Structure 1
Amino acid sequence: MTVRVVVGGALCHDGRLLAARRSAPPELAGRWELPGGKAEPGETVPEALVRELREELGVETEALERIPGEWPLKPGLVLHVWTARLLSGEPAPLEDHDELRWLGPHELDSVDWLDQDRPFVAEAGRRLAGQGADGAHRGA
């Protein structure tokens, strides 16, 4: 069985992480996620992330690095999350979302994240919190 990758973007800007509230499907509506979507055949996962964030949020981004781990969504579909940097544009909820919020490391628990995003959000939060002057909190 071929496994397709769904890529989520831990989009960080000015020390904050972007959270997107789902508007569909009904079973996910109202919960928060890292925006992204399925990689298309022949597309690398970083290319898919850049394309999906352009389509969903109307911004240009750069995929930086994959956060370790993966989460099986359903048979043949697995979630990978990459950190990403905002290059240009102001994110707007264009598809699948009805609200966006920039959250600092200490605000990440203020929204109801989808279960599969929680471990990646926690790691992204550790990385954001670790971007202090000494950089001592990087790595595992």
Structure 2
Amino acid sequence: MTPRTERIVVVGAALLDDGRLLAARRSAPAELAGRWELPGGKVEAAERPEDALVRELREELGIDAEPVERVPGEWPLRTPYVLQVWTARLRPGSPAPEPLQDHDELRWLTPAEVWDVPWLDQDVAAVREVEALASF
């Protein structure tokens, strides 16, 4: 019998505002630098994914956001990580997002611009699902 591999969930935010989607350009690690992603991070032990999303967006972007709904699907990252995505919105009074950790640039993309950036491979399928789900 093979030991069961523990899955570690990484949450990504499809942050939507005024008909636009926020994309974040990675500055680290080197193999991901220059590619774009939905911001987020790892769910800690005993943390709900929605709470991790709020915490990660505060740490990475300095914003106060709230999850809206889970995007259908789950995408494999390197073992044992999997990506789950939620749509999210800024809470009233939240500061504007800034790249504080792991990113060197942010862009608000309109639906016509969403494929103008080179997304990380694992984010491509998630962004397609966001496009189908959200009318941004």
* Pairwise same-fold verdict (TM > 0.5): yes
Return 5+ residue gaps in structure 2 as ranges. none
Q: Distance in 2 between matches of 1:127 and 1:80?
A: 14
Give the 4+ runs in structure 1 shifted more than 2 A: 125-128
Return 5+ residue gaps in structure 1 as ranges. 132-140
Contact 1:105 1:126 in 2 (8 A): no
How many Å apart are 1:126 and its aligned residue? 3.1
Contact 1:20 1:101 in 2 (8 A): yes
How many Å apart are 1:89 and its aligned residue? 1.3
Asked if residue 34 in structure 1 is aligned to residue 38 in structure 2, the reply is: yes
Q: Distance in 2 between matches of 1:110 and 1:14?
A: 19
Which residue of the partner structure matches residue 8 of structure 1? 12
Asked if residue 53 in structure 1 is aligned to residue 57 in structure 2, the reply is: yes
Q: Distance in 1 between matches of 2:132 and 2:110?
A: 11
Q: Which has the higher helix share?
A: 1
Asked if residue 121 in structure 1 is aligned to residue 127 in structure 2, the reply is: yes
Q: Distance in 1 between matches of 2:29 and 2:78?
A: 15
Q: Which has the higher strand share?
A: 1
Letter in 2 for 1:96: D
Deviations 1:65-116 (A, max 9, x none): 1111111112221110111011111000000000000001110010000011
Q: Distance in 1 between matches of 2:96 and 2:131?
A: 21
Which residue of the partner structure matches residue 103 of structure 1? 109
Q: Distance in 2 between matches of 1:21 and 1:105?
A: 18
Asked if residue 23 in structure 1 is aligned to residue 27 in structure 2, the reply is: yes
CA RMSD of aligned residues (A): 1.1
How many Å apart are 1:122 and its aligned residue? 1.7
Report SS of the residue matched to 2:112.
helix
TM-score (structure 2 length as normaliser): 0.92
Q: Distance in 2 between matches of 1:82 and 1:102?
A: 17
